Amino acid sequence: MGIFDFLRKNKQEPVTEGDKILDGAESAEILIPEHARPESKTQAEILPSKKKDKTASFKVFGVYDIGTEIMVSGMVDSGVLKKRMKTKINDKDAVLSDIKIGSDSVQELLTKEEGKIFLKGKNLYTLKQDDVLEFK
């Protein structure tokens, strides 16, 4: 028996409140009272939500008519811009047919990314610089 064995807690005593935390050795037991425990989070609070906002906004820097489509250069203000998203320009429907960064076609543009989008629709010539397009 060691010198400090009389200071150790008796192993047969029941733990009435809290959890035991062993700090590397059996002799260093710490009890955490119920009121001092951190709140446990449910799995829904820990995991990211599967439901995401399906809208995106795009700020227009330039508009170019290329025949059957209109090419719009700009930057995504919020959300994620993907192909086949729809927008309204002066109550006319337009569909996003392609997205490019530089000369490479990409699947999506993220928030604060600059790129060019190609819109299909009728009478889209009213689009101008500094307009903001809302996509769904």
pLDDT tens for 81-124 read 999 999 998 888 999 999 999 999 999 999 999 999 999 988 77
Q: Are residues 65 and 105 in the same domain?
A: yes
The Cα 101–Cα 90 span in angstroms is: 27
Which phi-psi region, left, alpha or beta, contains residue 62 (left: φ > 0; alpha: ψ -120 to 50)? beta
Q: Are residues 26 and 87 in the same domain?
A: no
Q: Are residues 22 and 82 in the same domain?
A: no
β 92-101/81-82 pair status = unpaired
Domain total of the chain: 2
Q: Are residues 62 and 109 in the same domain?
A: yes
Task: Copy the structure tokens of residue 18.
Answer: 């809290």
Q: Are residues 102 and 39 in the same domain?
A: no
Domain CATH code at residue 130: 2.40.30.10
pLDDT value at position 111?
Answer: 93
Q: Are residues 86 and 117 in the same domain?
A: yes
pTM over 0.85, yes/no: no
Q: Are residues 22 and 89 in the same domain?
A: no
Q: Are residues 24 and 75 in the same domain?
A: no
The answer to whether residue 112 sits within a structural domain is yes
Q: Are residues 75 and 130 in the same domain?
A: yes
Report the SS3 class of residue 15. Answer: coil
Which residues form the domain of 112? 56-135
**Which has more pLDDT, 62 or 35?**
62
The Cα 45–Cα 10 span in angstroms is: 39
The helix (H) or strand (E) run that includes residue 133 is strand 132-135
- What average pLDDT does range 64-75 have in this prediction? 92
Q: Which of 6, 42, 119 is nearest to 133 (CA)?
A: 119
Q: Are residues 69 and 109 in the same domain?
A: yes
The answer to whether residue 98 sits within a structural domain is yes
At residue 61, does pLDDT exceed 70?
yes
3-state helix, strand, coil in the chain (%, to 5): 5, 45, 50
At residue 21, does pLDDT exceed 70?
no
The helix (H) or strand (E) run that includes residue 47 is none
